[in-house]
Structures are given as C-alpha cells and as structure tokens.
Amino acid sequence: MLRIAAIVLVGALSAVGAAGAMVSFDPSRSAATEDVAQAQVAVAQPVAPTPAQVTKAADGHYWATADVNGSAVRFLVDTGATAVALTADDARRLGLDLSRLDYAVAVTTADGKTRAAQVKLRSVTIAGARVENVDALVLEGGLKTSLLGMSYLGRLTSFEATRTALILKP
C-alpha cells in the first residue's frame, strides 16, 4: 500500500513538472501574457505587516507616543494593566467631556484605589501598529501618565520585549 502511494506521488509530481514545462515552452503565449501571469502570482502572495518598534528609554521603561483618534498621547507601556488607561488631562485633549462620563469602575493603581469610566477609542496607532475600537478607561485620579495596557497590546498579532526595544506586530 505504501509502495503504491509512493508511485502515485511520484507520478503526480512528474505531471505537475511536465505541465509547468509545457506552459513555459508554449509559443502561443506572449511575453505580455507571461508578465501578467507573474504579476498575478506576486499579488496573490500575502504580505506580512512590518513590525513596529518602541525603543527602551534610559529609565528602563518603554514609552510610546501613540496617535489616538488623531491626537498624540504619550503612554507608559504596561503589560500588567488590563486596559489602556488615560489620565484626565489626556482624555480632555482627546475631546472627551469628563463631566458626562460614568466613573462606575473601581480600579487599583500604584497610587491606590480610584474610579474609572469606560470609553471606546476609535483607533490607537504606534509606529504603524494600528488597532481600532480599543476599550479604555479614563481614571478619575491617581494616574500620573497614561498607560498602554492589554486592551491594545492583546489585540496585536504579537509583541515581544527585548533588552533594547518592544516589538509590536500588528
């Protein structure tokens, strides 16, 4: 049975090779047709997104400036944070009306307990790594800088921390 399968496999490979040879020797095909066929093959190949990179700062942390809904926000990358967390100042700069937010979520930060409001960010882009419809929290207090948490990082294909940089793969 194995011998028959091997013979069939060799026959199939030979047929594929012969068909390829016949196509390349077909005088009825023009050079333009060949160019189109090669272009179609090139287009059909999936293109892997280019990884984005955030360089480690002198303080040992990864700081990233992101485009959030069209505005720049500086984040401390925090893989221990469940969600993207915005300071009140950053939320205001993004055009959020803090008086209309519902601070119903209890959170614990490095500075203690506080409350937060849930928001949805249209997009967060860091060095080309774009994620849309990102869940985030606006903290009422207790946060000195905005945090880039897992509600963004976890939606990337992958991310990797090296000794010198954080690699983000969209």
85: tokens are 């967390």
Task: Give me the average pLDDT of each 10-residue run along the chain (170 residues).
Answer: 37 39 44 54 65 96 98 97 97 97 94 95 97 98 95 97 96
Domains of the chain are 2-44 (no CATH), 52-169 (2.40.70.10)
Quote the CA–CA distance of 132 and 51 in Å, as a whole number. 17
Threshold 0.85, pTM exceeds: no
Quote the CA–CA distance of 162 and 144 in Å, as a whole number. 26
Residue 121: per-residue pLDDT: 98
Residue 30: per-residue pLDDT: 52
Q: For 107-152, give the secondary structure using H, E and C.
A: EEECCEEEEEEEEEEEEEEECCEEEEEEEEEEECCCCCCEEECHHH
39: tokens are 């272009």
